[in-house]
Homo-oligomer: A and B are copies of this chain.
Amino acid sequence: MLKFELLQEDKTSAARLGRLTTAHTTVDTPIFMPVGTQATVKTLTPEDLYEIGAGIILANAYHLYLRPGCELIQQAGGLHRFMNWKKGILTDSGGFQVFSLSKLRDINDDGVWFHSHIDGSRHFLTPEKVMEIEAKLGADIAMCFDECAPYPCTYEEAEKAVKRTSLWAGRCKKAHNNDKQVLFGIIQGSVYPELRERSVGELTALDFPGYAIGGLSVGEPKEMLYATLEVTTRMLPREKPRYLMGVGAPEDLLEGVRLGVDMFDCVLPTRLARHGTAYTAEGKITVRNALYAADFSPLDARCSCYVCQNYSRAYIRHLIKAEEILAQRLLSYHNLYFLFQLMAGIRAALAKGEFPSFYREFFHNYISA
C-alpha cells in the first residue's frame, strides 16, 4: 500500500511538503532515508535510528541476495523481523550494484550475468528474479531492476540503458504482485535531457505509484546533477512521490528539495563517519585533524543530539586516533541527526511558506567542500 498527500507547495520553486504512508510507516516529506545496505545502518541499532527520527531506511536486494540470501530472510519472517526494524524499508533492486560492484558481467535484454563481489560465484538476474527477491525481503517499497549507465557515457550508451530500463520496468510491473509492497519505477537517461524526457514518458506510461531518479550522483559535476534533476522532476506527475537515488550531501538535499524531490538516500553520513568527518552548520569538519586535539567543544555547537550534548571533539578525535569503534558510532549518529534536523528544518520552512529564506540562510552559513 502507498498513500501520498501533497500538503503544501512552495510558490517560488518546485519544493513541496508531503506525507507518505507505506505498510509500516507514515512520514512527512521531503525525507532522508539512512542506508542499511546489508540489513544494518552501519554501527547503529534501530533504537538509535528511531531516536534520530528515521522513518524509512534502505536495504539492498543485490547485497542481501548474495549474503545471507533472501530465502534465509524470508524464513526469518522478512527483512523487518530479521533486522528488528519496525518502520518503513525501501529495497533498491541492485541494478546499480550489479553494474558497479560485480565482475565480468554479460548483459542482454533478458537479464544480467555477473560474478559475486564476495566469492566470485556466477549469478543471473532478470527483472522477474529481482521482483521475487524483493518480495521475499518484504520491504514497503521495492525498486524496479534497471540499467544504470556510468558517467561519462555516450548518448548511444545512455539511450540503450533507457530502452532496457523501460523494457525491464514493464516486466517488473507485470511480475510484481504484492498488495503490501509497492513498486517504484526508475528514470534513467544520464545527463541527456532528451533521454531523461523519453525515460519519464515511458515510465509514467506504466503508471507506477512513485518514481525514482537514478543514474545521478555517479561522478557528474554538480551543475549537471542539478540541471538534469530539473528537467526530470518537472516532467514527473505532481501527485506522486519522487525519489532521488544516492544523493545526500546537505547542499544537494537543499537543491533537490528546491527542484521538487521528496525522498533521498545516501551512504555519505555513515561513510564520512568512518573517515572521521562530521557535519556542522558551518560545513564539514575533519575531527581527525590535530587542530581538534584539545578542542573541548561539541562537534557542532548548534546541534542538540546525544553526541553533541555529551562528547567533545577532543574525545572523539582521541577515539579515532586510538581506532576505537565508538568514534564511528558517535560520528554516524551525529551525521545522521544533522541531516534529519536539516530535513525537519526544510519541512518546517515549507509549512510556513518560508522555504526561500531557509534556503538562503542555509547557504549563508554552510560552506560545502
Q: Which residues of A pack against B, CB within 8 Å?
A: 38-40, 42-46, 67-68, 72, 75-76, 82-84, 293-294, 296, 310-312, 314-315, 317-319, 321-322, 324-326, 328-330
The complex places the Cα of A319 from the Cα of B37 at a distance, in Å, of 11
Q: Given A293-B72, A318-B67, A318-B68 in contact, is the A328-B325 Cβ separation under 8 Å?
A: yes
How far does the Cβ of A4 sit from chain B's closest Cβ, in whole Å? 31
Whether A38 lies near B75 (C-beta < 8 A) is no
How far does the Cβ of A311 sit from chain B's closest Cβ, in whole Å? 6
Whether B67 lies near A321 (C-beta < 8 A) is yes
Whether B315 lies near A42 (C-beta < 8 A) is no
Q: Top 6 nearest A-B pairs by Cβ distance?
A: A68-B318, A38-B322, A84-B310, A40-B326, A43-B325, A40-B324
Whether B40 lies near A294 (C-beta < 8 A) is no
List 5 other contacts, CB 8 Å, given A40-B326, A67-B322, A329-B329: A39-B318, A40-B322, A68-B318, A82-B315, A84-B310
Q: Given A326-B45, A329-B329 in contact, is the A314-B68 Cβ separation under 8 Å?
A: yes
Q: Which of B46, B296, B314, B325 contacts A329 (CB 8 A)?
A: B325
How far does the Cβ of A105 sit from chain B's closest Cβ, in whole Å? 22
Whether B44 lies near A314 (C-beta < 8 A) is no
Contacts of A82 in B (CB 8 A): 312, 314-315, 318
The complex places the Cα of A294 from the Cα of B68 at a distance, in Å, of 10
The complex places the Cα of A76 from the Cα of B329 at a distance, in Å, of 21
Contacts of A75 in B (CB 8 A): 294, 296
The complex places the Cα of A317 from the Cα of B68 at a distance, in Å, of 9
Q: Which chain B residue has the least Cβ–Cβ distance from A38?
A: B322
Q: Which chain B residue has the least Cβ–Cβ distance from A77?
A: B296
Q: Which chain B residue has the least Cβ–Cβ distance from A43?
A: B325
Contacts of A46 in B (CB 8 A): 310
Q: Given A72-B294, A76-B296, A326-B44 in contact, is the A39-B315 Cβ separation under 8 Å?
A: yes
The complex places the Cα of A310 from the Cα of B319 at a distance, in Å, of 28
The complex places the Cα of A310 from the Cα of B317 at a distance, in Å, of 32
Q: Which chain B residue has the least Cβ–Cβ distance from A315?
A: B82
A-B contact pairs, 24 of them (CB 8 A): A39-B318, A39-B319, A40-B322, A40-B324, A42-B324, A42-B325, A42-B326, A43-B329, A44-B326, A45-B329, A67-B318, A67-B322, A68-B314, A68-B318, A68-B321, A72-B294, A75-B294, A82-B314, A82-B315, A83-B315, A84-B315, A325-B325, A325-B328, A329-B329
The complex places the Cα of A318 from the Cα of B45 at a distance, in Å, of 15
Contacts of A311 in B (CB 8 A): 84
How far does the Cβ of A62 sit from chain B's closest Cβ, in whole Å? 13
Q: Given A68-B293, A319-B40, A321-B67 in contact, is the A76-B314 Cβ separation under 8 Å?
A: yes
How far does the Cβ of A227 sit from chain B's closest Cβ, in whole Å? 37
